[in-house]
Amino acid sequence: MARADRPALTPTPTEHPPGGEAARRAVEALWRIESARVVGALTRYTGDFDLAEDVAQEALAQALVAWARDGEPANPVGWLLATARRRAVDHFRRRSARDERYAAIAGRLVEGGASSGAEPSPDRSDDLPWDPDRIEDDVLALIFVACHPVLSPEARTALTLRVVAGLSSEEIARAFLVPVPTVQARITRAKKTIAAAGVPFEPPPAAERRERLGGVLSVLYVIFSEGSTATSGDRLLRPDLAYEAIRLARTLTALLPAEPEVFGQLALFELTAARFPARTGPDGEAVLLEDQDRRLWDRSAVRRGLAALTRATAAGRGLGPYGLQAAIAACHATAPSVPETDWERVVLLYEALGRVAPSPVVELNRAVAVAMAAGPQEALPIVDALAAAGHLAGSQLLPSVRGELLARLGRTAEARAELERAARLCRNTRERSVLLRKAAALG
């Protein structure tokens, strides 16, 4: 297994006592929620990014055994951190003893040389690896380290999604449509590059933060996007990821209060997450926008999102890509229904977004808005042009939109074929069910 991958937390019943299954579930839940904080605190404590991950993994393995035997501790995070800290101390001691042996050998080899031994590592026995007052800074520090300009954009994103968001290499590969070994290689190279460059574990000085801000925002966006609509699996939403991205975005606004795009991204996250309560039914099935009960939308999140959008606009520098997407989300959040949405404004905002941050996905979304504002006959040429250019190949997005447009135009057989093709490409079972249901409804 590549070192970039965390071991799967799936011990077999024969490996542990009867409580092993409960311990496994507890450890998995803890790691899913707290992994970024744990690794962040341990990196600050050890000063070594790779060592922090190693001792965290060793502590996880020990937890599987100890919790199965003794039950889950009252403070599982504290237990995990204390165990990892002891592992780190053992590592420091081994390294110190090794360095002393090397120094002694070197002293004997150099004529007249005296072996003084290696400088003993500082006594950290009273240090606490977990400082509640610095949790948010630790996680942001992880992100800023992973987004260091010494790394390529691809390596930054892969490393941050792995360490901060806790995504597996398989999930990252699916999100970016690249092979799993490619993701693993990027993560491994990124760690080696960070170690070789001696990148300190701390948010960069204020003068350097803007240089890394684009990478940080990009990573938070990918984390939130995966939480908002999972790329695979049997859940439409992964709210733990989405809300972690929101928490980090809020922290980032406090760290960089003069950056309007930071507030634009926070607004986008809040306004999008406001719809989460209505996006799935009782059994977890996906609920389309036109069918959602808007009374379930989180109005507090809407207010927070609109307030953040106001902060982004107040800077007077124009909205960036995230601010423009937030403005689009605001159109949906403030509309009484789908027909009553200001689709003309949405089209204009997508046109502006296409000029600032052009991409096939933006153009496809513009086509959807054009269809709502002017009809499917105006939108279909936009989608066909994307298909002719080979954009979004391998994604369900384009055939699903094209199928919808063809259905509205009465071209039933073509629409059904497009929706069925989209379903074959879709890796999320909830989304796939919606597509198949639409295709079946066309007869």
pLDDT digits (tens, 9 = 90+) for 35-48: 877 888 888 888 78
pLDDT of 143 over the 90 cut? no
> Is residue 407's pLDDT more than 80?
yes
Of the listed ranges 117-131, 203-217, 428-442, the one predicted with least confidence:
117-131
CB 386 within 8 A of CB 360: yes
Q: Answer yes or no: is pLDDT of 181 > 70.
A: yes
- Which residue, chain included where needed, has tokens 């504290």? 78
**pLDDT class of 304 with cuts at 50, 70, 90:** very high
Q: Give the per-residue SS3 of 74-106.
A: CCHHHHHHHHHHHHHHHHHHHHHHHHHHHHHHH
pLDDT at 275: 97
The pLDDT of residue 306 = 98
- Torsion angle defined by CA atoms of residues 129, 135, 141 and 146, in that order, rounded to the nearest 10 degrees: 90
Assess whether pLDDT exceeds 80 at residue 203: no
- Span 312-320, average pLDDT: 91
- Per-residue pLDDT of 337-347, as tens digits, reads 999 999 999 99
Mean pLDDT value across residues 308-323: 94
- The answer, yes or no, to whether residue 26 has pLDDT greater than 50, is yes
**Using CA atoms, how far apart are residues 328 and 369, in angstroms rounded to an integer?**
10
Report which of residues 81 and 172 the model is more confident about. Answer: 81
Which carries the bigger pLDDT value, residue 5 or residue 106? 106
Across 344-360, b (16+ Cβ under 10 Å) vs e yields eebbbbbebbeeeeeeb
The total of other beta-carbon atoms located within 10 Å of residue 216's CB is: 25
Place of tokens 């997005």: 397
Residue 13 has pLDDT above 90, yes or no: no
Residue 185 is encoded by which pair of tokens? Answer: 């290689």
Q: Does 145 or 135 have the greater pLDDT score?
A: 145
Stronger pLDDT, 22 or 408, i.e. the higher one:
408
- The per-residue pLDDT of the chain, averaged, comes to 84
Q: What's the pLDDT band for 125 if we cut at 50, 70, 90?
A: very low
Q: What is the pLDDT of residue 129?
A: 45
Q: What pLDDT, on a 0 to 100 scale, did the predictor assign at position 177?
A: 66
Q: Is the pLDDT of residue 417 over 80?
A: yes
Q: What is the dihedral of CA 235, 240, 242, 247, to 10 degrees?
A: 170
Of 86-95, 129-138, 228-237, 294-303, give the lowest mean pLDDT range.
129-138
Nearest to 262 by CA among 270, 273, 250: 250
> Region 305-321: what's the mean pLDDT?
94
Q: Report the distance separating Cα 441 and Cα 113, nearest Å.
A: 87
Mean pLDDT of 371-394: 96
Does 409 score more than 90 pLDDT? yes
Looking at residue 400, its amino acid is: S
